[in-house]
Structure 1
Amino acid sequence: MVLLTAKIMQRTAVFVTFGGLVTSLITTFLPLWKTMNSDLNEVENWYSGLWHMCLYTEEVGVQCKAYDSLLGLPADLRISRVLMLVSVCTGALALLVALPGLDGVRARLDRCGTRRRFLILCGVLCWVSGISTLAPVSVVAYATVVEFWDKGLPDVVPRWEYGEAMFSGWFGGLALLTGGTLFFVAVCMADYDLRTATVADVPRVTRGAQQYRKTEVL
């Protein structure tokens, strides 16, 4: 376990957090949250996202149109917009906060406690970002399932199904939560290394003082 140090753990946390942030950003603007294919017209595929509604046909290709009114959207889409933007902003802020707290980065933070606070704050922001990504994706997924199994709708009415953005959103949220956890693990490893180094240096100082006293007596 010599290769597993606090510095390597910090770099791993940054890499995982960056991957989760990019995935969440793509998920936010990807119009593939829900898909629908009508049995009456199999050549048309509908795609629904947070910002656009798209139609794919073999003759024309993909045509996307933004929603006409924000008030006309379902409540789950309106909430998902806000939460996904919060997730992207907090994830980007977490990476900015992590930079001055990383070991090896030259900053005016000579005290280890200051770097430690930056990393802890970064971990908290990563958790907030991850929860803000998982919550809207899970809410839209639940609403899709409820609508899909709604027995009040006729069978001929097409139903929305999960799109690729759902799975990428879950992956991005879990990656952000994992990145925040790795930052906390890195802080604990740095604290352990600091305590170990302090305890190892105490006997040397005491032994040197005792030898100095013996020499002075003689």
Structure 2
Amino acid sequence: MVFLTTKIMQRTALFVTFGGLVTSLITTFIPLWKTMNSDLNEVENWFSGLWHTCLYTEEVGIQCKAYESVMGLPLDLQISRVLMSVSIGTGGFSVLAAFPGLEGVEMCVGQPGRKRGLLILSGVLSWVSGLTTLAPVSFIAYTTVVEFWDEGFPDAMPRWEYGEAMFSGWFGGLALVIGGTLFFVAVCMGDYDRQPPSFHTCPELKHRTNHYLKTEVL
């Protein structure tokens, strides 16, 4: 394709990675990982996140309270906090490392090897960021499903369900993985562009004098 150049691929990878990073960052701090609505009191809606829980009522509005003790949190929340923090850190470093490695940026000029290394590093960090986003979201989604279908709870007891942050977390994690993959594609495209033009050489044809045998017709 004419328009699919190395420069465009690099900027597309950076854009997708940055979008996934912002989405993961928002997912980390919004209290919409799990929601719960009691059938006994339909005007109350509970929301749970990694850092605090919130209660929404029509009379008062939304009220949030942070968790009092880190050690008292469930294991899935503790692991998710750590992994999401790692995701934000690696995603941020991925964007910072990719910027000087882009073509057209007046950094590391005349050093194609260093620019290539920075793009590869950005791809690896973006992959790590995406996987450390997908892992806690999927883990909490699994525990939510297990608790929802647990037959040990009474039927009248309200149960947690998926919140909007679960879907935004999956979207952000996939975007980071795709962005990292596009960085590697951009590196391969750059390597191909820097290759010397290869000509399909054919064996040299030697110009030989054709000797015609003159025959006499008797």
- Scaled by the length of structure 2, what TM-score is found? 0.90
Structure 2 residue aligned with 1:214: none
CA RMSD in angstroms comes to 1.4
Question: Could you list the runs of 4 or more consecutive aligned residues of structure 1 that deviate by over 4 angstroms after TM superposition?
Answer: none
SS of 2:64's equivalent in the other structure is strand
Q: Which has the larger radius of gyration?
A: 2
Name the CA distance, whole Å, in 1 between partners of 2:198 and 2:155: 74
Total equivalences in the alignment: 201
Name the CA distance, whole Å, in 1 between partners of 2:108 and 2:191: 20
Q: State the Cα deviation string for residues 106-139 of structure 1 (Å, max 9, x = none).
A: 0134121111111001000000000000000000
Structure 2 residue aligned with 1:33: 33
Name the CA distance, whole Å, in 2 between partners of 1:65 and 1:108: 48
Once the two structures are superposed, the pairs formed by residues 165-176 of structure 1 within 5 Å of their partners are 165-176=165-176
Structure 1 residue aligned with 2:206: none
Match 1:199 to one of 166, 187, 197: 197
Structure 2 residue aligned with 1:44: 44
Where structure 2 has 5 or more consecutive residues not aligned to the other structure, the ranges are: 202-218
SS of 1:116's equivalent in the other structure is helix
Name the CA distance, whole Å, in 1 between partners of 2:86 and 2:56: 30
Name the CA distance, whole Å, in 1 between partners of 2:62 and 2:168: 21
Q: Percent of aligned pairs with the same residue?
A: 73
Structure 2 residue aligned with 1:24: 24
Name the CA distance, whole Å, in 1 between partners of 2:197 and 2:37: 67
Q: Quick check: which one's helix share is greater? A: 1
SS of 1:130's equivalent in the other structure is helix
Name the CA distance, whole Å, in 2 between partners of 1:200 and 1:84: 47
Name the CA distance, whole Å, in 1 between partners of 2:162 and 2:108: 48
Structure 2 residue aligned with 1:126: 126
Name the CA distance, whole Å, in 1 between partners of 2:128 and 2:33: 22
Q: Deviation at 1:200?
A: 5.3
Structure 2 residue aligned with 1:215: none
Name the CA distance, whole Å, in 2 between partners of 1:135 and 1:200: 45
Name the CA distance, whole Å, in 2 between partners of 1:17 and 1:199: 32
SS of 1:53's equivalent in the other structure is strand
- Scaled by the length of structure 1, what TM-score is found? 0.90
Structure 2 residue aligned with 1:156: 156
Counterpart check, 1:183 vs 2:179: no
Structure 2 residue aligned with 1:210: none
Where structure 1 has 5 or more consecutive residues not aligned to the other structure, the ranges are: 204-218
